[in-house]
A and B are shown apart, each in its own frame.
Chain A
Amino acid sequence: MSEHIAPLKIYFSVFVALMVLTLLTWRISYIDLGQWNTVVALLIAVCKASLVAAFFMHLRWSASVMRLVLFAAVFWLSILISLTIGDIFSRHVLPQPQSWHAAAVITNPSATAQGR
């Protein structure tokens, strides 16, 4: 049914949930979870976004093509981010074996360890 009218109760429940999650994400940032702070923050953000999309934006009751559109955008954005980050992370991983560098240092003690 493309013109679904959601019951008001749902909007208010989602609103409360979003407020709670906002409070949660703010307060958790004051707790030391190390690396996991970011992960938790993003997970909470994804939850909040999903609630907004599903209920405020009616995605729950929309034709599947709308969900496909959202999924496609998120999917290709993740490609952009992951391949770019993959480049950044692998820049200083040299393709040559370590032993070659050791040999270079022995024969030429003044050579720097990192070269390209």
Chain B
Amino acid sequence: MHNSQAVVAEQFDDRVQQHEAASLGMWIFLATEIMFFGGLFTGYTVYRNLYTTAFETGSHLLNARIGALNTAILIASSLTMALAVHSAQTGKRAKLIFFIISTMCLGAAFLLIKFFFEWTHDYAEGFVPGLHFTYAGPHASHVALFMCFYFIMTGVHALHMVAGEGVLTVLLIMAWRGRFSQERYNAIEMMGLYWHFVDIVWIFLFPLLYLLGARF
């Protein structure tokens, strides 16, 4: 059967095999993402240990309150994503659409807060290495190194979120057109895995970037 609307793709024998293959494939992709971010975490760990004081100074320049708020927003978006998957699994189209939109909105809120409350502020204060760095305290170049890692790590994370929003848009359109059902929801579930992973990366980024050093 070469029906493009077929629930089971040609190379698979049945739905179960297809679902397990999709899940394993997505987990392997997430493993590659762990290693990708892992390289950044390695660099961070090296410089954090070499320049502990400067890193703590750098961390204080960030706004932990906003960071915590963003963490909460992202966790909430993970909840809505999980609920979207649940809706797809139970064949509830309206709820699926609602939860995809909620996830997208929460994700957008995260990104907007990051761009407009954090990064523009950082730029204005002169904390952006390479673009506008005017910090003149002790160990300025090491603080710049901290800021490098801050912007690169949160930047790469943000890129992943933007990509996620893009895919969610496509899934939203497909859901609107009624393409998903109780037999056919792999794409939503795999997107869920990706979205939760991006959340997990942030769960580690938040304490490592925002909560270093004495603030007591």
Contacts and interface: CB of A to CB of B under 8 A. Distances in A.
A29 B20 CA distance: 41
B178 interface: no
B119 interface: no
Contacts of A89: 49
A99 interface: no
A69 B24 contact: yes
B204 to A, nearest CB: 5
B203 A29 contact: no
B111 interface: no
Interface residues of A, number: 50
Given A8-B86, A29-B215, A84 B196 contact: no
Interface of B: 16, 19-20, 23-24, 27-28, 30-32, 34-35, 38-39, 41-42, 45-46, 49-50, 64, 68, 71-72, 75-76, 78-79, 81-83, 86, 89-90, 189, 192-193, 196-197, 199-200, 203-204, 206-208, 211-212, 214-216
The 9 closest A-B pairs by CB, nearest first: A73-B31, A41-B207, A29-B211, A77-B38, A73-B34, A15-B79, A26-B68, A69-B27, A49-B200
Contact of A88 (B38, B46, B89): B46
A63 to B, nearest CB: 6
Given A11-B86, A25-B207, A70-B27, A77 B34 contact: yes
Interface of A: 2-3, 5-6, 8, 11-12, 14-15, 18-19, 22-23, 25-26, 29-32, 37-38, 41-42, 44-45, 48-49, 52-53, 55-58, 62-63, 65-66, 69-70, 72-74, 76-77, 80-81, 84-85, 88-89
B35 A49 contact: no
Contacts, number: 135
